[in-house]
Amino acid sequence: MPGWHVVENISTIAGVLGAVVMLFQGARFWQQRREYRNKLKMLEYELDSDIIINLTGHPMKQFEEDWHKGKKIIDITVGNVDLFNLDAESDRVVKMILNEVKHELNSGVPIIFAFPGMSVLTQYLIAKIHGLAGVFPLITTPVKTGQGFVFTKPVDLQAIRTHKRFNRT
């Protein structure tokens, strides 16, 4: 039957085209994966910052492994927060932050933020700082010890986000 060979040829061509498309998609996947790995390697070295914004209300006197040496510490007093109006309260704090480091934040200079521990305001601030800077901030956390509060080495939230995005299925 002459018509049968035409169907076989069309099936073969479709199969070959499908294989080519799958190879292209696979190559693109491996390229993206390589780009993410390179980005992750770069993020490991971008933790350096010269500015610390202290929003904790606690003096920054003790540090884990003296990571703060040579950095400028800017204390911003947040005060009492209206928990029923967190959006406006976070806008107020962001305005105070911008009064201190607007140029640095807008130009992508890494800034370490010391947020109040276990604070619901922090959730809003992280989202708003991400919106302004285009990346998640570096953060440090005050941990209470027998000698007072010790500030942990900074954590790069953008690197954590990128690591989890890479592992996303």
CA distance 68 to 49: 9
* pTM passes above 0.75: no
Looking at residue 50, what DSSP letter applies? Answer: S
Residue 55 has pLDDT above 60, yes or no: yes
Phi, psi at 3, each rounded to 5° = -65, -30
CA distance 102 to 132: 9
Residue at token pair 């911008």: 98
CA distance 38 to 90: 34
Residue 136 has pLDDT above 80, yes or no: yes
CA distance 115 to 75: 11
How distant, in Å, are the alpha carbons of 16, 38, 104, 113, 129 from that of 158? Answer: 42, 14, 17, 13, 12
Q: How confident is the model at residue 45 (pLDDT cuts 50, 70, 90)?
A: very low
Higher per-residue pLDDT: 21 or 59: 59
Q: For residues 75 and 31, is the Cβ–Cβ distance under 8 A? A: no
